[in-house]
Amino acid sequence: MNIYDISKKAGVSIATVSRVLNNSSKVSEQTRRKVLAVMEENSYTPNAFARSLGLNSMHTVGIMCADSSDVYLAQAIYYLERELRNNGYASMLCCTGYQLEEKEKYLQLLLSRNVDAIFFVGSNFVEDTPERNGYLYNAAKKIPVFLLNGHLDAPNIYSVLCDDYQAILDITNEVLRTGSERPIYLYRSLSYSGRRKLAGFTDACLEHGLSFEEERSFLCPVSLDNTRVFLTALEEKGVSFDSVITSDDELAAGAVKYALASGRRVPEELQITGYNNSMFSTCSTPEITSIDNRVEFMCTTAVSLLMQAFQHKNIPAKTVFSGTIIRRQTTRT
Amino acid sequence: MNIYDISKKAGVSIATVSRVLNNSSKVSEQTRRKVLAVMEENSYTPNAFARSLGLNSMHTVGIMCADSSDVYLAQAIYYLERELRNNGYASMLCCTGYQLEEKEKYLQLLLSRNVDAIFFVGSNFVEDTPERNGYLYNAAKKIPVFLLNGHLDAPNIYSVLCDDYQAILDITNEVLRTGSERPIYLYRSLSYSGRRKLAGFTDACLEHGLSFEEERSFLCPVSLDNTRVFLTALEEKGVSFDSVITSDDELAAGAVKYALASGRRVPEELQITGYNNSMFSTCSTPEITSIDNRVEFMCTTAVSLLMQAFQHKNIPAKTVFSGTIIRRQTTRT
């Protein structure tokens, strides 16, 4: 039951229903009573945010992600859509790619559809500078904005994220404790989450007294083959490493391919860790030790927070939860 | 630019714009001219189907799939959303699961949002009996229905699909030609596409004079571990096999896990083939010979057909394209 159904049942225009919701004086008392009666009969609760804006809620939420075919993002979309639907909301999906200009354009598209809120999934939506984050601030002026695995401090922006810093710190510590002396770190981007992860790796190395005279972290091309080639080239350049910590299972799966191709025994001669606990970690042989960053929990929490916000409840601007190490065959114990 | 923008710019209600689009006599000549002028100024082309139904098009297309986190379906969603957006349409996503009752319920949800068309992605949407397919026939009475990798012969239903029968026939033939004598076939469902694939396997075996006294095809639980356990149990029950043809890369990746665990050399003692050419086929070691069933081509073709239909062009009810064998390390040459 949405505003369209109400208008139909009451035999009035949508604009009239909207006016009733907004206590406009332009509606006759008789009409107001009729509309309210229909709402009551159908236990209709108007969307609080839409109401405050005087818009007609479509009971639709936008989901923006860079690429819905990415394993991690695909899972998040699945859980978000399920939870939203269970709460009576439809999902409008927008895959933006990684360019700011495109993100802004697609955001306008969602806003023009009068969505009631937007979930930005993946920390690549948080840019480096306030100017480049302007599109998020602007969206938040109109509707609640949720950052899933990103964080930005601004009114009407809510962040739900895994503590990626702590997770990488913990897993690096574990690899160093079990004898690794020359760890390297592979990442695919320095998004908000990417920077947090890198800090976790660096701090663990510093805690163990490792020097940073030589470079230990590398932006690495994704795809199994590219990662394998990259590590082979690194070795040929004389970079010595006995563990590969990665920001992403796909990079770790590529590192496993490198180990198999170069004949280095895992985990005896080379430890490898992934992140996301995705199918890449179980599909590889040996199976990859990874971080479970609780995609399902993140999504159900975010939708639950949104529903509370719609009911005028005060919700936290930032919700951080911890990940868990899932130990498999690529690390020593 | 959609009907809402037009109504805003022309300073009239949406209902009035709709009446102009439908040549209703209830609009004054002055208003009609004003609305048409705004449309012309903004090069607005009304959605043909919506127009014929007298509805206000939302320029939105529904995408229904069982599970957006499935690797194959996630890719399809990505390509569909991209192509639709490039044509000015938003995507409303619905993940239905595999139960008929749920599919029907979510279809009603999409229809209540006045979507302009629906893509049903995955052949699990085509049921066994006309009664159980009633929900598709009903949807097609209102808007064009596209079945991606499914087929159903009915007015306003358009099928775009890979020739799964031929692809499995070809890959099975290749495995038998290179010396396999006791092939088995693993599948995860007998959907429309599932039945076609099984027929391809059976016909290839018959062409090679193999008997079917013993069972050669098995409904197998998915997840790498489950498939490994299933094959181990099959072996213990005395079923002898020297090749595993599968309907799906994930099953094939499970078969690779079985081979590694049981010490059978691939492809010398055991050949394995997958389907979909997904990350499962490249992530496994050895990498899996698979069928590329052209997800991107399927999606761009389907969206292109829809756009032609919106322009009143006559489009084919069924478009079938062939797959390709991608040869890797799990088959002999």
Band (B327; pLDDT cuts 50, 70, 90): very high
Angle between helices A224-236 and A249-262 (to 10 degrees): 60
pLDDT of the residue at B309: 93
Domain B1-58 is in which class? mainly alpha
Band (B128; pLDDT cuts 50, 70, 90): confident
Task: Indicate which of A70, A78, A102 best probes the interface with B, i.e. most B CBs within 10 Å of its own CB.
Answer: A78
Measured in angstroms, the CA of A210 and the nearest CA of chain B are apart by 33
Band (B44; pLDDT cuts 50, 70, 90): low
Q: Which residue has the higher pLDDT, A19 or A61?
A: A61
Please indicate whether, in this complex, the C-beta atoms of B71 and A279 are within 8 angstroms of each other. yes
Q: Which of A324, A323, A304, A325 is nearest to A315 (CA)?
A: A304
Residues of chain B found within 8 Å of residue A71, distances taken between Cβ atoms: 71, 74, 279
Examine the pLDDT at B48 and tell me if it is beyond 60. Answer: no
Measured between CB atoms, which of B13, B92, B260 is closest to A91? B92
Q: Which residue has the higher pLDDT, B12 or A231?
A: A231
A211-270 per-position pLDDT tens digit: 888 899 999 998 999 999 999 999 999 999 999 999 999 999 999 999 999 999 999 999
Token pair recorded at residue B296: 């991107």
For range B123-131, the mean pLDDT: 90
Band (B47; pLDDT cuts 50, 70, 90): very low
Q: Where are the domains of chain B?
A: 1-58, 164-293
Pairing of strands B290-292, B324-326: antiparallel
Q: Are B99 and B107 in contact (CB under 8 A)?
A: no
pLDDT of the residue at B52: 36
Q: Which residue has the higher pLDDT, B2 or A193?
A: A193
A79-116 per-position pLDDT tens digit: 999 999 999 899 999 999 889 999 998 898 888 888 99
Residue of B nearest to A15 (CA): B13
Report CA torsion sign: A55, A57, A61, A66. negative
Q: Which residue has the higher pLDDT, A26 or B221?
A: B221
Measured in angstroms, the CA of A13 and the nearest CA of chain B are apart by 9
pLDDT of the residue at A13: 80
Q: Which residue has the higher pLDDT, B114 or B305?
A: B305
B49-106 per-position pLDDT tens digit: 344 334 456 789 999 999 988 999 999 999 999 999 999 899 999 999 889 999 998 8
* Fold match flag (B1-58 vs B164-293): no
Rounded Cα distance between A194 and B110, Å, is 37
The ipTM of this complex is 0.75
Measured between CB atoms, which of A13, A71, A109 is closest to B90? A109
Please name every residue paired with A63 in a beta bridge, in sequence order, or none if there are none: A93, A119
pLDDT of the residue at B54: 41
Superfamily for domain range A164-293? Response regulator (3.40.50.2300)
Please indicate whether, in this complex, the C-beta atoms of A90 and B77 are within 8 angstroms of each other. no
Q: Are B305 and B158 in contact (CB under 8 A)?
A: yes
Measured in angstroms, the CA of B203 and the nearest CA of chain A are apart by 31
Token pair recorded at residue A296: 């399902």
- 3-class DSSP assignment, residue A107: helix
pLDDT of the residue at B39: 76
